[in-house]
């Protein structure tokens, strides 16, 4: 009994003293209610305790003062129903495991693209839950390259493509084999459908080699009306100029020092490097060609693209009534 009175004096006395302070402060404010100590009139009161923290405090009071749950909850102004509540949320272990598996096999995929893949597999899950689990698993991607401090000026005379094969964009990437031998990779992408007709790997590239690649690709996918290129020696060659004139294709050159003029292929190059080149060792030229071709097929047939409604380029081509030759 003496212990219970001591506990009531200790806790109840603090509550009574706090009530007297609030009353005095209210009278000083002309009878207006006070939302909390140290708070300016009109602001919200401090946020209530989280349920887990409240349960912890209730258990601490019960352990120290040997009182009932009812009395401990009453003193702390904590609902008993909240204290007794047991979460019925199903286990997220399976979803966590699948998110980690996708992130380990596709290391440059963020939570939005992972959410699209999960929906395709039949998971009924909100993107916000995917984001929470993605962060809790420590899977956030950090861009190592700093953002530009100045805004790039885009060309104003260009119009956005409205159909496949209106505008292609192509550029080169450089890499090497395991023994240091140099590689040149020609990447081509359709600016409308995001389809990649070719990722061609050779140890050296000349203007005539670009023409050979374009002849092979256009025989399958059709002839583009325009191709956006930079001012590299392979693209300003007489061989490519003659091929473009013979086939009625316009070569749209970027301005010197303005890579944003060919932003589609620059973005595509970044994906190829991050998701293919940086993830593989190339043991030979044939090995490099095989791995780049496998990535091109995955890019066209499996990888979702936010710019085209989280569809793959092949799915997007089918949705607009184009033939499935894009899968070749």
What DSSP assignment string belongs to 85-97?
A: ----PPP-HHHHH
The count of C-alpha atoms lying within 13 angstroms of the C-alpha of 199, restricted to the half-sphere facing its C-beta, is 26
- Those residues whose C-beta lies under 8 Å from the C-beta of residue 253, and which sit 6 or more positions away, are 229, 230, 231, 235, 236
Sequence ranges of the domains in the chain: 2-33+47-84, 93-136, 167-327
According to DSSP, residue 254 is labeled P
CATH class of 167-327: alpha beta
Residue 195: alpha-carbon gap to chain centroid: 20
- Those residues whose C-beta lies under 8 Å from the C-beta of residue 287, and which sit 6 or more positions away, are none
Per-residue confidence (pLDDT) for residue 35, from 0 to 100: 44
Query: Do 149 and 171 form a contact (C-beta atoms < 8 A)?
Result: no
Per-residue confidence (pLDDT) for residue 94, from 0 to 100: 92
Per-residue confidence (pLDDT) for residue 198, from 0 to 100: 92
- Those residues whose C-beta lies under 8 Å from the C-beta of residue 175, and which sit 6 or more positions away, are 182, 183, 185, 277, 282, 288
Per-residue pLDDT of the chain (328 residues; tens, 9 = 90+): 444 445 545 554 554 454 455 555 445 445 554 444 444 444 445 556 788 889 999 999 999 999 999 999 999 999 999 999 987 878 888 999 999 988 887 777 889 989 988 998 999 999 999 999 998 888 876 655 544 443 344 444 577 888 899 999 999 999 999 888 999 999 999 999 999 999 999 998 999 999 999 999 999 999 999 999 988 889 888 899 899 999 999 888 888 778 788 888 888 889 899 889 988 889 999 999 999 999 999 999 999 888 888 889 999 988 888 765 544 5
Query: Do 61 and 76 form a contact (C-beta atoms < 8 A)?
Result: yes
List the structure tokens of 152: 């790039």
CA distances from 44 to 32, 39, 77, 227, 303 (A): 14, 8, 18, 59, 47
The count of C-alpha atoms lying within 13 angstroms of the C-alpha of 195, restricted to the half-sphere facing its C-beta, is 27
Query: What 3 state SS string does 201-245 have?
Result: EECCCCHHHHHHHHHHHHHHHCCCCEEEECCCCCCCCHHHHHHHH
Per-residue confidence (pLDDT) for residue 147, from 0 to 100: 47
List the structure tokens of 146: 């700093």
Largest CA distance in the chain: 104
Q: State how far the Cα of 90 lies from the Cα of 86, in Å rounded to an integer.
A: 12
Per-residue confidence (pLDDT) for residue 139, from 0 to 100: 84
């Amino acid at each position: 009994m003496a212990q219970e009175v001591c506990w009531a004096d200790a806790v109840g006395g603090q509550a009574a003293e706090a009530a007297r302070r609030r009353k005095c402060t209210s009278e000083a404010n002309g009878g207006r209610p006070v939302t909390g100590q140290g708070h300016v009139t009109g602001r919200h009161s401090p946020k209530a305790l989280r349920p887990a923290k409240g349960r912890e405090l209730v258990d601490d009071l019960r352990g120290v003062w040997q009182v009932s749950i009812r009395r401990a909850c009453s003193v702390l102004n904590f609902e008993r129903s909240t204290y007794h509540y047991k979460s019925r949320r199903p286990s997220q272990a399976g979803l966590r495991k699948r998110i980690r598996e996708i992130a380990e096999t596709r290391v440059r995929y963020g939570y939005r693209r992972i959410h699209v893949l999960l929906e395709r597999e039949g998971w009924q899950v909100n993107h916000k839950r995917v984001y929470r689990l993605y962060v809790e698993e420590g899977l956030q991607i950090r861009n190592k390259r700093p953002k530009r401090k100045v805004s790039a000026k885009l060309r104003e005379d260009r119009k956005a493509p409205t159909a496949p094969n209106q505008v292609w964009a192509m550029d080169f990437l450089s890499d090497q084999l395991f023994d240091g031998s140099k590689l040149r990779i020609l990447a081509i992408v359709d600016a409308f459908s995001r389809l990649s007709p070719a990722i061609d790997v050779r140890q050296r590239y000349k203007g005539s080699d670009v023409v050979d690649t374009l002849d092979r690709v256009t025989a399958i996918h059709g002839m583009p009306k325009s191709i956006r290129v930079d001012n590299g020696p392979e693209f300003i060659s007489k061989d490519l100029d003659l091929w473009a004139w013979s086939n009625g294709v316009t070569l749209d050159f970027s301005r010197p020092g303005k890579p944003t003029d060919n932003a589609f292929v620059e973005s595509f190059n970044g994906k190829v490097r991050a998701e293919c080149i940086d993830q593989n060792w190339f043991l030979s030229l044939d090995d490099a060609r095989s791995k780049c071709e496998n990535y091109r097929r995955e890019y066209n047939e499996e990888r979702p693209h936010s710019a085209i409604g989280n569809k793959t380029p092949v799915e997007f081509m089918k949705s607009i009534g184009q033939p499935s030759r894009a899968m070749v």
